[in-house]
Structure 1
């Protein structure tokens, strides 16, 4: 099935992607509303090198770092290394970006999904590592497309969008993904084979 709706959100992503500077985008909204699908669909249309990592609930730091190293290897073709902290993890990401951009002019897309699950463990250093990565490296370049995403809306707003520390005013765009509009709902149902639905029937589904 073709991707349905989200024209406004896709236009925001497109505008950010085409900028002559790096982008830092926050996407948030309730669970299972299509945030991950939106970003994956958008990036699938691009020729960027994409590094994608997803947080998991109630997982220890060591497991998250192992997953980060694995995703780094998959994205850049580098050997997996033992990462001992989030600072080391983002330093490794920085090194691989620097090596990759010697060979390509494409953007480097970084998609961090379910970010609160990576960062919410007390004093694990994730937020500080992201801050250093953006402030000292990514923001100084013109080829980084960084998207952070989370279902914990309050956390994303408080700790990323409205942060008063090292990430203050760093977000270049934000997307609050909400439920489908009535028009998008009708498009979705028609794509599923429910042709010729009237507005009343669509409203019943909506």
Structure 2
């Protein structure tokens, strides 16, 4: 087995199962210690973005080649921030228009739009959480860290309230929450991200 990574190539062909496992674990720890985030693992030509651990463990002695593609954590976080800046205006527009549907009789198509809005909200929440975790590791050294922490905490509360309103079929409260509170949270995060870029 050959293992290619940002640290070069390791040849594990002569090693037994335990030695291969130890070498792979050592390599992954070393990448982590150097703030390299694994984005993709290519095993015998097949790409895995997740679930590669189980496959590696089950086929450790049969695999011929493993390529670990990683990216510096700081570069990945910058990319996430850029993606957020690009996506947030679309989500904000959705927060302004989709709640209008909740005020009336919802059709099947309308529920589809609402579902897309929730998927977008979820993605923004996960992205902001990644930025927050990165900032936590750097002890809040990132200029935007406090704003991201505030956003993540606020969004969690909003999503909880939205879930409760939807469960009670209180669509007016749900619409108001999206249109006024969640929309403002997204606008504030966008303003902070843009301010950091220009500073």
TM range (shorter): under 0.3
- Choose between structure 1 and 2: higher helix proportion: 2
- TM-score under structure 1 normalisation? 0.25
Q: Which has the larger radius of gyration?
A: 2
- TM-score under structure 2 normalisation? 0.25
Higher relative contact order (CA 8 A, sep 6+): 1
